[in-house]
Amino acid sequence: MAKIALITGATAGIGEACAHLFAREGFDLILTGRRQERLDALAQQLNSTYNVRIAVAAFDIRNREQVLHHLDILPDDLKQVDILVNNAGLSQGLDPLQNGSYDDWDTMIDTNIKGLLYVSKLVANWMINNKKGHIINLGSIAGKEVYPNGNVYCATKSAVDALSKGMRIDLLQHGIKVTAIHPGAVETEFSEVRFKGDKDRAKKVYEGFTPLTAEDVAETIWYVASRPAHVNINDLVLMPTAQATGSMIYRG
């Protein structure tokens, strides 16, 4: 029987790259995100290329009822999830705290912390029942260090760091692995989302150096996911060579 991975935020960037890589490795997949049409197109492409089974579930991860409903109605055999990639997340704005937007704060906290928790509780219980599993959480260098104007986004990723440690302790007795992956700058739709569709401003974030690609991060996630049963990588920071800290990038 094929292994199964559930990847949140599979409609773009790192999640989409993970979907390609896990499908290539023969995994059946559950893919989530809000954009149904992107999920459908991706499912069709992966199914025809790799002949793996793909289920899609379109929901807003901030909405607890939607999350629980869409995951609960999946077929029972797909709930034998081996790998959960908690990837869905975003940043909104880059302002000093005193100028911050309440709505942006709510969006980041509800998505990056509460959404991750809703999915994790449900899937952790599947994994406990199945007596197997590996949860891989997307943190960020922003969760390890705070950079100017990063305030609330950094706090949400710091929470992911703490939750990963908490999950590892609580799930230890069930033999479930927990890994936190913390990338530096990855060129995806991330900055376009952060700057609310301002493509020029987003492009400038990656000018003058070579950022990570979504595929670089997906390959690292695959490395972590494919270690032997007795080996777990707890915590992994990966950066572009040109980036030393959250805010220090050498642009030539």
Tokens 């959250």, located at residue:
246
Contacts to ligand NDP from residues 207-246, by CB under 6 A = 214
Nearer to ligand 8X3, 12 or 141 (CB): 141
Q: Which of 31, 84, 111, 246 binds ligand NDP (CB under 6 A)?
A: 111
> Is 153 an annotated catalytic residue?
yes
**Long-range contacts of 106-109, Cβ-Cβ distance < 8 Å, separation of 24 or more:** 107/62, 108/152, 108/153, 108/156, 109/152, 109/156
Helix axes 116-130, 64-72, angle to 10 degrees: 30
Size of the site for ligand NDP (CB under 6 A): 28
Q: Which of 22, 28, 62, 243 binds ligand NDP (CB under 6 A)?
A: 62
Contact pattern from residue 192 through residue 231 relative to ligand 8X3, giving x for each residue in contact according to CB under 6 A and a dash for the rest: ----------------------------------------
**DSSP state for residue 9 in the 8-state scheme:** S
Judged on CB neighbours under 10 Å (0-12, 13-18, 19+), 106 is middle
- Bridge partners, 33 (sequence order): 58
By CB under 6 A, residue 246 contacts ligand 8X3:
yes
- Bridge partners, 57 (sequence order): 32
Sort strands 177-183 and 235-238 into parallel, antiparallel or unpaired: parallel
CB of 104 to ligand NDP, least distance (A): 13
**Which of 153, 206, 223, 250 is flagged as catalytic?**
153
Q: Which of 152, 159, 186, 224 binds ligand NDP (CB under 6 A)?
A: 186
Q: Return residues touching ligand 8X3 (CB under 6 A).
A: 91, 140-142, 185, 190, 246
Catalytic residue numbers, as ranges: 153
